[in-house]
Amino acid sequence: MPERTLHLNAFLMSTGHHEASWRLAESNPYANTDVAHYQRLAQIAERGKLDSVFFADSPVLFSDVGRRPSGALEPTVLLTAIAAVTTHIGLIATASTTYNDPYNLARRFASVDHVSNGRAGWNVVTTAGPDAARNFGLDDQPSHAARYERAAEFLEVAQKLWDSWDDDAALADKESGVWGDNTKVRTIDHIGQHFRVRGPLNVPRSPQGHPLIVQAGSSEDGRSFAAQYAEAVFTAHQTLPDAQRFYADMKRRAAAVGRDPSGMKILPGIVPVIGSTEAEATRLERELDDLIKPEYARVQLAKTLRVSPDDLALDAQLPAELPDEDEIEGAKSRYTLIVNLARRERLTVRQLIGRLGGGRGHRTFSGTPEQVVEAIVDWFDHGAADGFNIMPAALPSGLEVFVDQVVPLLVKRGLFRAEYEGVTLRDHYALSRPVSRYQRDPDRRWEAVGA
């Protein structure tokens, strides 16, 4: 097998990533709150030996409820249900550093890591938008820069808490009557700009030491944050040159802060629509696009572009005057991607809505299993990706055909595993288990519990 192989994550979203997927005859329109649905999807992904499954999240109601299935189960809770019916697949959930506290989230992800025997990952987000802010007593969202400053300190605190127990702190010595060694459990006594946390965590150090850290922002602040902390980066690109530039930039940034660039996996999103022939794939894609209701999609696009829906005539191109990226306080990189896509291909608003309907700015690709393989390998071989965030347009069918028809072709070419070779999510991503900061620096000041 070649030294470098693909990493594949399945991004699961109710009935699929295409906004009209819920209208297909095969779809369960209540799948967004159906635990059994997600358990089945994870089992399908595990059948294909994929590295992980991933759930997005936001502390605000997503989209107009008229548009598509809305409302989502809290993902870390969902992961525990999935852990019970799977044995190998990695489990990644999104959680916000803007509207949580480090102690609670550190405990939650450590708990999921224990429950799953070392398969937990945390997609660290900063949460954009005034609607989320108003759910937490704020009039508006904190600035983009302020959110990332908080996120950096938040993650530092979480990592200290995960290290507050040594791996061998639990003794369970029945004969002596000593369960644990107090000298191996410590306070962290963190005092920073945003947080004061004494510690220790009330959960022992988890199987992975630290859950896998994932990041998904591609703005300047997001890239700097990812270079410092991320072990996997979910990103969106429409063209190979854009993806190559991002890939090279992120690897350079990781090296600049003293990290091994191979320890950060870059996974662009791809929305594959797969048919037995190219014509069948095109037909399936057209069937989905024809189910889009433009009146809903136009309102969402206007919100993203920070303009009035009245400014977006369906059969005209985007207005000449749009905000600069510097004026956007949330999802900066996605805003720029959408505007550049529309300008580059001279799309009308109606055409742009169709392009975004499948993946909200992620690359969409329709074709046969062999053509999907070539699309994946092209980016993998040309310095644009370490793997992919697979985003099926319709679920479960899109995931099933990817696992059953695309994955075997990748295995045959020696680019993907035929069987799991490790137990933890870090094993799947070929990442080492973090050594506790207190073991790296034994002289670091700390206070033992009970001292």
pLDDT in tens, 330-371: 555 667 777 877 787 787 877 777 666 665 667 888 899 999
pLDDT over 50 (residue 451): no
Is residue 343 assigned to a domain?
no
Comparing CA positions, the residue from 226, 211, 268, 263 lying closest to residue 429 is 263
What pLDDT shows up at residue 62?
72
* Over residues 422-432, mean pLDDT: 97
What pLDDT shows up at residue 67?
73
pLDDT over 90 (residue 208): yes
Is residue 311 assigned to a domain?
no
Comparing CA positions, the residue from 5, 4, 88 lying closest to residue 52 is 88
**CB 445: neighbour CB atoms within 10 A?**
7
232 band by pLDDT with thresholds 50, 70 and 90: very high
What pLDDT shows up at residue 391?
95
Comparing CA positions, the residue from 99, 393, 75, 56 lying closest to residue 217 is 56
Is residue 438 assigned to a domain?
yes
Is residue 305 assigned to a domain?
no
Is residue 122 assigned to a domain?
yes
State which residues form the domain around 433.
7-280+359-448
pLDDT in tens, 37-83: 999 999 999 999 999 999 999 888 876 787 778 889 999 999 999 99
DSSP characters for 189-200?
-EE-SS-EE---
Q: State the CATH number of the domain containing residue 369.
A: 3.20.20.30
Residue 166 in contact with residue 436, Cβ under 8 Å?
Answer: yes
1 band by pLDDT with thresholds 50, 70 and 90: very low
Is residue 375 assigned to a domain?
yes
**Residue 300 vs residue 223, higher pLDDT:** 223
Total structural domains within the chain: 1
For the chain, count helices (H), then strands (E).
16, 15
Percent of the chain having pLDDT more than 70?
Answer: 93
pLDDT over 50 (residue 441): yes
pLDDT in tens, 157-198: 999 999 999 999 999 999 999 999 999 999 999 999 999 999
Residue 190 in contact with residue 196, Cβ under 8 Å?
Answer: yes
Is residue 327 assigned to a domain?
no
Q: Looking at 87-218, which runs of residues are DSSP E strands?
A: 90-96, 120-125, 170-173, 178-180, 186-187, 190-191, 196-197, 212-215
pLDDT in tens, 244-291: 999 999 999 999 999 999 999 999 999 999 999 999 999 998 888 888
Is residue 291 assigned to a domain?
no
Q: How far apart are CA 113 and CA 38, in angstroms?
A: 19
